[in-house]
């Protein structure tokens, strides 16, 4: 039983600033990637999308394997907690696995947190990459073990046939080399249901970063999907915000008022008073978040005074998608109409 297994795991509530940073080894030719489904199931992903993802990852010189429970789909299009925990533990325990890539997001990866073996994960540092609902895992693992995790593309994201080059370059820069990833705005972006029709794509011109407050800052990266990060409030797995650079984004299931109050909740968390900068990912058009509206939200919060703030950055639920090291380092320099942002593990 999962519960009896959990009872035998020594629980060590750790403070992030007291836990040594663990940077996983980079990928290279021949590295092995294990695909797991800690949220929704691989059963959601079409065979054609899987074929593109498999070929693209193998073109990077990577080999693939899949967790034993990735195809299980219950009434919630997920697998039971025990299966998802087992697949994550097996991926970290297997010495042949170099990186763990999540299938897709969803809503329930935080169900796994009470049952994870932090000692096992910390003793086997390797790359974990995903975004959206996987924020609960990337933040919790970094908090509890010091392991740098990655907010970046899912396995399913690699199934995007077209307009994927920038996402792929950022992924390779972050995970195949020890070098800064420059978050330079690309000329265009997309937000469409490519997974339903690879031929129907809408390419939009990029108006660049929105510099809402200018200045210079550097610090440890904390963040991901805002509503998922807020699920960690008051738990042992909430990351330490002190002296950090926070990055947040939200998807089309949110709204302007929901984003506003979720951001307020985040600014009320312990340690936020010393946050050094705030990065906000690009909003999907469905939210109709205009620059002036976002500026009004930011200006309504005294907790954000005197911090560099840059929005419309390429992370979140639009493409291309940056690969950002959670627990890594960010450097931000902004002027009234310019911004230089870099990330490094």
Tokens at residue 145, please? 């073990």
Catalytic option among 69, 89, 209, 317: 317
pLDDT class of 335 with cuts at 50, 70, 90: confident
Query: Is 286 assigned a catalytic role?
Result: no
Is the confidence at residue 10, as pLDDT, over 50?
Answer: no
Tokens at residue 229, please? 């990060």
The answer to whether the bond into 67 is cis (omega within 30° of 0) is no
Say how far apart CA 228 and CA 249 lie, in whole Å.
10
Query: Is 254 assigned a catalytic role?
Result: no
Catalytic option among 109, 132, 151, 156: 132
Catalytic option among 69, 244, 249, 254: 249
Maximum alpha-carbon separation in the chain: 57
CB-based burial label for 267 (10 Å; 0-12, 13-18, 19+): middle
Alpha carbon of 149 to those of 43, 137, 255, 329: distances in Å? 25, 9, 28, 12
Provide the pLDDT for residue 74: 95
CB-based burial label for 335 (10 Å; 0-12, 13-18, 19+): exposed
**What is the residue whose two structure tokens read 């059963």?**
43
Looking at every residue in the chain, the average pLDDT score rounds to 94
pLDDT class of 4 with cuts at 50, 70, 90: very low
Provide the pLDDT for residue 59: 97
Is the confidence at residue 266, as pLDDT, over 60?
Answer: yes
Rounded to an integer, the average pLDDT of 289-306 is 97
Q: Are 155 and 103 in contact (CB under 8 A)?
A: yes
Domains and CATH numbers, the chain: 2-175 (3.40.50.10740), 181-344 (3.50.30.60)
b/e for 290-311, b at 16 or more Cβ within 10 A?
A: eeeebeebbeeeeebeebbbbb
Rounded to an integer, the average pLDDT of 253-270 is 97
Query: Is 214 assigned a catalytic role?
Result: no
Q: What percent of the chain has pLDDT above 70? A: 95
Residue 18 CB: number of other CB atoms within 10 A?
A: 8
Q: Which of 286, 333, 339 is nearest to 314 (CA)?
A: 339
DSSP state of 318: S
């Amino acid at each position: 039983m999962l519960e009896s297994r959990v009872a035998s795991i020594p629980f060590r509530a750790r403070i992030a600033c007291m836990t040594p940073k663990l940077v996983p080894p980079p990928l290279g030719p021949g590295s092995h990637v294990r695909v797991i489904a800690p949220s929704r199931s691989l059963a959601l992903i079409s065979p054609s999308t899987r074929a593109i993802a498999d070929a693209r990852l193998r073109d990077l010189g990577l080999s693939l394997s899949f967790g034993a429970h990735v195809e299980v789909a219950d009434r919630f299009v997920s697998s039971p907690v025990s299966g998802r925990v087992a697949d994550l533990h097996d991926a970290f325990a297997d010495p042949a696995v170099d990186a763990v890539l999540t299938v897709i997001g969803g809503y329930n990866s935080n169900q796994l947190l009470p049952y994870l073996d932090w000692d096992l994960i910390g003793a086997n540092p390797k790359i974990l990459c995903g975004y959206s609902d996987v924020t609960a895992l990337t933040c919790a693992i970094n908090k509890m073990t010091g392991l740098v995790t990655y907010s970046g593309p899912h396995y399913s994201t690699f199934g995007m046939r077209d307009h994927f080059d920038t996402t792929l370059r950022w992924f390779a820069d972050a995970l195949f080399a020890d070098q800064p990833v420059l978050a330079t705005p690309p000329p265009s972006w997309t937000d469409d249901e490519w997974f339903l029709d690879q031929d129907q794509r809408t390419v939009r011109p990029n108006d660049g970063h929105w510099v809402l407050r200018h200045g210079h800052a550097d610090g440890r990266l904390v963040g991901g999907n805002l509503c998922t990060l807020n699920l960690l409030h008051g738990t042992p797995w909430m990351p330490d915000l002190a002296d950090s650079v926070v990055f947040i984004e939200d998807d089309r299931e949110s709204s302007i008022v929901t984003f506003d109050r979720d951001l307020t909740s985040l600014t009320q968390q312990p340690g936020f008073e010393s946050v050094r900068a705030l990065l906000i990912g690009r909003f999907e058009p469905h939210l109709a978040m205009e620059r002036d509206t976002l500026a009004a939200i930011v200006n309504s919060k005294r907790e954000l005074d005197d911090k560099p703030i840059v929005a419309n950055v390429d992370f979140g639920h639009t493409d291309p998608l940056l690969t950002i090291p959670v627990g890594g380092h960010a450097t931000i320099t902004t002027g009234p109409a310019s911004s230089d942002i870099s990330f490094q593990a």
